[in-house]
Amino acid sequence: MKVGVTLPTFRDDAVALQAALRAEELGLDGVFVFDHLWPMGQKERPALSAFPVLGALASVTSRISFGPLVARIGLVPDDVLVAELASLSHMAPGRLIAGMGTGDRKSAAENEAYGIPPGAADERRLALAGCARRVLALGVPVWVGGGSVSTTELAVDLGPGAAVNLWQGQPSAVAALTGRCEVTWGGPVAGTVPEIAMALTELAEAGATWAVCGWPESVEAVAKVAEMVRKA
């Protein structure tokens, strides 16, 4: 199982780039960026725009995988989203992972604040399927943000190159899907090295191919655990 981290982008400085370089130095497999206009439910706080940060990551890193977790359908036109992802794949061949999702009622306020109607759920899923197929055709892996039966089935239908990403999913949920499609996991981790190791080991044993840890208190601890999991 590969291990990555989300970067600290809910700020107004460039510490995320320094964090990415540190993650790469420590041997982690990937760094990922939230695609939100502000931290969930905290409109007063800053947030760096996802795609400019991703472009900078493509430039300053050399090995590590990177991508949005997840790029939300509807914030920009579908053609623009696909073009943004295609540009990143050209900037860093073989390193982009295109996390994509439909958004939900929790993120709808961000759209509405900027006059971007979120659209009906079935329309967003249809758009996601279309964008995902176009990105897969570029040779870029796609992670579909799971959270509902419909989006999970969408990931299954996309076939090879696509995975479902379960944010804060239980190991049992991971195991239940591994026979149908690739499953990746994302969510916060906390505690001591042994506690983090136990959590990630359970995910690896359940069949997750990736674990993306919400920006941790110690990226060094996560890197240490990642090495332990690889050797297990």
CA atoms of 71 and 80, how far apart (whole Å): 12
The pLDDT tens digits for 188-206 are 998 889 999 999 999 999 9
Residue 169 burial (CB count, 10 A) = 22
CA atoms within 13 A on the CB side of 127: 23
CA atoms of 132 and 141, how far apart (whole Å): 9
Domain segments of the chain as ranges: 2-231
The pLDDT tens digits for 12-58 are 898 999 999 999 999 999 999 999 888 877 888 889 999 999 999 99
CA atoms of 86 and 98, how far apart (whole Å): 10
For residue 86, CA distances in Å to 20, 61, 73 come to 21, 18, 16
The pLDDT tens digits for 107-158 are 888 888 888 888 888 999 999 999 999 999 999 999 999 878 999 999 999 9
CATH superfamily of 2-231: Luciferase-like domain (3.20.20.30)
**Cβ contacts of residue 173 below 8 Å, gap of 6+?**
166
